[in-house]
Structure 1
């Protein structure tokens, strides 16, 4: 008996030490990102029913120096999709709809609606044009409420990108349609359905939809950028615009309740939770992306909306949950979450390193001035002011670029870099923007 008692004490002590070690690694990761101005938000990490890390960084509101805290409320963006998908599956369980229902059942005049199913909408395989690709609308009109008719008009009559079910292409339009289908199938507003099915039963008391008009002292302000000396506000996105594709707001605490409900197979049957996680195409199921870590399934989703980037990543087999919510655009919440999960599983990960600016003569900086076109109706104008290279994207504020090496610059207001390209005569003819894991080329159109 004494031996068993001693063994139990030793094992308990070892588990306590291991937990402390994990927490220390997790803390180092988030503290490094914060110190490098790559994290301004709240982070929660849990494993096996225990919260290992629950911290906040940076500012909830810079105007009055209110700092973020674990209870701060953030807009979620596309994390909303897993909640929309859950509501659809719940209605299917109640026989109020079928995943094989045609879109034409709910919108009889929708072009080719008889070839598009609810499952196509859930899995981004409908071929429907993604309305958020309309840059002019996203830059100028997202703060204004829109009707269902106007929302549908942005994509309804555009040709399908491919035959439904043939390919995968992320479509916020598809998830907006799911929100409207939920309303038609239930006879209730979309927001009410989610409150009755999910938020209410799970006591997600700080979760909702109309974030722009939310009156709460814990509400964060969204920024395009935040530095030690300045911040650039982002316009609020009206919930009628992002709707079932991205309108939700929440906290790390409420999202942890969501994780726990999924672990316990609440709201949906175990079989339907499994369906939601199972990849249909391109590692995407019903509102969840599916991947692996250390040979175990990882399910996740990220979100990005004006002023906010978010990520939730889970390993259901081990009851692991990582939530990263940030109220400054241009950050990589997903990369932070991946590093945190990697640390839990003793997998390799890298921490950001501080970039060091070099001195470049003004005459050299003048070579980069001009307008660079990256997309239709979107350019970056480069100029030299006070011996600094400045970049002004269409519809945004001007920001300095810092030279790291020849033809390569970095920004501090967001996690982005720019490499200028030259022709055989060594004239600057374009650039490549590195941001959010993407490389976007731009052509120099004016000097």
Structure 2
């Protein structure tokens, strides 16, 4: 018996050690990106109910040297929509509203409101123009009081772009309206509903809505852009502009706790959760499915000011991950690919930020064909970076690994140039020879 226990203890120790190595490499990646002025932000990984990784990088107030930490709060942009959808489905569960309720019950001045339902709003299938991205006159309301009322008037004056439920088109107007509907039904503010229905229930101490300006004394963060020399602060919006479509403040840790609780049935009924997960034209009720190899994460992403956010849950592994960026000078999607590649023990070379010289670019560029598979791959330069594109497929970036080897980690692709006129493509344990035409 003692021997069995010793073996078990050894197994657990080795497993823990391997996990620590993975997390140390993720930390090294994010530090590497920060040190090269490519990224500032915060990451949280939750396995089951346990936070196994939580770290912040860079500054919440760069001009004053205020460092970010695990409790730093960021604007999460359109991840707010998942909170809004959850509260609407809670009202459905409470029988205070039904998905077939028409919009004209609340806002009859909106074009085709007699045909638009709550369900159409949730699935973004209304035909209502996006006030935040498609209306160049949005600047008219900036800096004015009663922002929400002014935006609603704009929405009420739009003409429908298409017949309700005939197609999907992402529009912040849909979730702005849903936030107003929550207020009308409950006779409480969106902020109060968020607090009582989600934040207090899950003990999310750093998740809330406010229309006040950023307050660094409350550990709230500004967002930044890198101007070539230093991180330059981006001007703030009045949060009421984004409102229920994108104005919530949170942390990666709170986001991982929220979406896991949603999928564990702690916020809505199983029937409502299934509806939220059901995709129509790739979009659920404020849930998107993110593929990473054969794994499918459910979640959402967001953009507001200079903030970028991602939140995802993979049910099979009970794994939750959230990354919030407040300084972006490198693709957030590529950062997530790096993090997940390391977590799942896939080959992942750190990106090389040294620009290829013109001679090397010329060496690698061209169209290559293979006798092994009926496929052509064109390798080309864009803004000093090397990209590849297979016949009939979108282009993808090639990250320098070593010597004449480039990789595209998201698809597990490795391309080793054996000369200026040929390369070997390795993917899924197979090798294919390509020669320049």
Q: Partners in 1 of 2:227 and 2:353 — Cα distance?
A: 17
CA shift in 2, pair 1:11/1:166, >3 Å: same
CA shift in 2, pair 1:82/1:143, >3 Å: farther
CA shift in 2, pair 1:358/1:4, >3 Å: closer
Deviations 1:171-207 (Å, cap 9, x if unpaired)?
A: 0000001111111222221221111100111122222
Find the residue that maps to 2:226 and give its secondary structure: strand
Q: Partners in 2 of 1:358 and 1:136 — Cα distance?
A: 41
Assess if the C-alpha contact under 8 Å between 2:39 and 2:329 holds in 1. no
Q: Partners in 2 of 1:349 and 1:186 — Cα distance?
A: 49
Assess if the C-alpha contact under 8 Å between 1:313 and 1:337 holds in 2. no
Task: Please report the RMSD computed on the Cα atoms of aligned residues, expressed in angstroms.
Answer: 2.6
Structure 1, gaps ≥5 residues long: 360-404, 411-447
Deviation at 1:29?
2.7
Q: Which residue of 1 aligns with 2:331?
A: 332
Structure 2, gaps ≥5 residues long: 359-379, 386-437
Q: Which residue of 2 aligns with 1:276?
A: 276
Assess if the C-alpha contact under 8 Å between 2:224 and 2:327 holds in 1. yes
Deviation at 1:339?
2.9
Assess if the C-alpha contact under 8 Å between 1:325 and 1:333 holds in 2. no
Deviations 1:45-84 (Å, cap 9, x if unpaired)?
A: 2223333321111111122111111111111111100000
TM-score of the superposed pair, with normalisation by structure 2: 0.76
Deviations 1:408-443 (Å, cap 9, x if unpaired)?
A: 469xxxxxxxxxxxxxxxxxxxxxxxxxxxxxxxxx
CA shift in 2, pair 1:284/1:330, >3 Å: farther
Q: Which residue of 2 aligns with 1:93?
A: 93
CA shift in 2, pair 1:91/1:26, >3 Å: same
Residue pairs, 1:70-109, within 5 angstroms? 70-109=70-109
State the aligned residue count. Answer: 363
Find the residue that maps to 1:43 and give its secondary structure: strand
Q: Which residue of 2 aligns with 1:222?
A: 223
Tell which deviates more after alignment, 39-48 or 349-358. Answer: 349-358
CA shift in 2, pair 1:139/1:331, >3 Å: farther
Q: Partners in 2 of 1:348 and 1:132 — Cα distance?
A: 40
Residue pairs, 1:37-56, within 5 angstroms? 37-56=37-56
Find the residue that maps to 2:303 and give its secondary structure: strand
Q: Partners in 1 of 2:211 and 2:188 — Cα distance?
A: 20
Deviations 1:208-267 (Å, cap 9, x if unpaired)?
A: 22264354521112223366x433222211121101100101122322331342353212
Deviation at 1:338?
3.5
Residue pairs, 1:210-359, within 5 angstroms? 210=210, 212-217=212-217, 218-225=219-226, 229-281=229-281, 283-328=282-327, 331-347=330-346, 351-356=350-355
Deviation at 1:134?
4.2
Find the residue that maps to 2:222 and give its secondary structure: coil
Deviation at 1:138?
5.7
Q: Partners in 1 of 2:295 and 2:82 — Cα distance?
A: 20
Q: Partners in 2 of 1:274 and 1:73 — Cα distance?
A: 30
Deviation at 1:357?
8.2
Q: Partners in 2 of 1:139 and 1:108 — Cα distance?
A: 25
Residue pairs, 1:118-133, within 5 angstroms? 118-133=118-133
Q: Partners in 2 of 1:168 and 1:350 — Cα distance?
A: 38
CA shift in 2, pair 1:135/1:114, >3 Å: closer
Q: Partners in 2 of 1:314 and 1:138 — Cα distance?
A: 34
Deviation at 1:125?
1.3
Residue pairs, 1:84-233, within 5 angstroms? 84-134=84-134, 136-137=136-137, 142=142, 144-210=144-210, 212-217=212-217, 218-225=219-226, 229-233=229-233
Deviations 1:10-64 (Å, cap 9, x if unpaired)?
A: 3212321221232133223322322332211111122233333211111111221
Find the residue that maps to 1:328 and give its secondary structure: strand
Q: Partners in 2 of 1:140 and 1:313 — Cα distance?
A: 36
Find the residue that maps to 2:39 and give its secondary structure: coil
Q: Partners in 1 of 2:140 and 2:36 — Cα distance?
A: 31
CA shift in 2, pair 1:127/1:96, >3 Å: same
Q: Which residue of 1 aligns with 2:68?
A: 68
Assess if the C-alpha contact under 8 Å between 1:175 and 1:244 holds in 2. yes
Assess if the C-alpha contact under 8 Å between 1:143 and 1:235 holds in 2. no
Q: Which residue of 2 aligns with 1:21?
A: 21
Deviation at 1:297?
3.0
Find the residue that maps to 2:202 and give its secondary structure: coil
CA shift in 2, pair 1:230/1:142, >3 Å: farther
TM-score of the superposed pair, with normalisation by structure 1: 0.74
Tell which deviates more after alignment, 304-313 or 49-58. Answer: 49-58
